[in-house]
Amino acid sequence: MLFVMDAERAEQYRGVPYLAPVIEQVKQMDRYAEAEIAAAIINSFFAAFITRKEGAKNELPFTNPIPESEQLKLSPEERLSSYELGPGTINMLAEGEEVTFGDPTHPNAGFDSFTKVMAQLAGAALDMPYEVLLSVFNSSYSASRAALLQAWRSFRDRRDWFSHDFCQPVYETWLFEAVATGRIKAPGFFNDPVMRKLWSQAIWIGPSPWSNRP
């Protein structure tokens, strides 16, 4: 895409992508977000652990759960070795057994502040306030308006560059062909460079900062 490639020196053929200065920060934010989501999912599982004291049987109670229809056929002593997890379920543990539950510690409380700081650093490198970068305007009206105006300074510079370095040359090439084929009458176009410049002048107008157009 031409409008996101910036040249660093004259005659440079291939430009530098717009996100090149912050590509590493964006990647680290993506990795951190994936790690936090994975940790939150893992810690959301309901985990119970049965600890056995010395002398207790070394059987795995949850390995082969016994259906309710089969439990009715068991003796009271055999039913004590059947464990289930469910709403309102009460299990009688065997002698020497104790149940403990996991205590998840995720999601990390510092995720929001970390993401905000990384967005601020990325916005500073891109000359864009982080409020505009994240589309989050939680400050006052004056602060939000100042952030938008600051961002539009950068947008306007890039729009002017795009119109002069891309749109205008394309228009001049089209006009040259149109005049040469006789579709457009432009006296003095090929004889006088000044007239050609006057015929090729164009004003490129984009949407205003407060326009509702997409």
The burial class, CB within 10 Å (0-12 / 13-18 / 19+), for 123 is buried
Domain total for the chain?
1
Instruction: Establish if 95 belongs to a structural domain.
Output: no
Q: What is the pLDDT along the chain (214 residues), one digit of tens a residue?
A: 334 456 666 776 677 777 888 888 888 888 888 888 887 777 777 666 666 676 655 555 544 445 556 555 666 555 555 566 666 566 666 777 777 776 666 666 777 888 888 888 888 888 888 888 888 888 888 888 888 888 888 888 888 888 988 899 999 999 999 999 999 999 999 999 999 999 999 998 888 777 655 4
Instruction: Establish if 199 belongs to a structural domain.
Output: yes
16: tokens are 């530098």
Q: Across the strands, what pairs with 5?
A: 17
User: What secondary structure letter does DSSP report for 94?
Assistant: P
User: What secondary structure letter does DSSP report for 187?
Assistant: T
Instruction: Establish if 9 belongs to a structural domain.
Output: no
What pTM was computed for the model? 0.53
Give, in order, the Cα–Cα distances in Å from 182 to each of 149, 162, 173, 186.
Answer: 45, 29, 14, 9
Instruction: Establish if 147 belongs to a structural domain.
Output: yes
Cα(first)–Cα(last) distance of the chain, in Å?
19
Domain holding 155, by residue range, is 140-214
Instruction: Establish if 205 belongs to a structural domain.
Output: yes
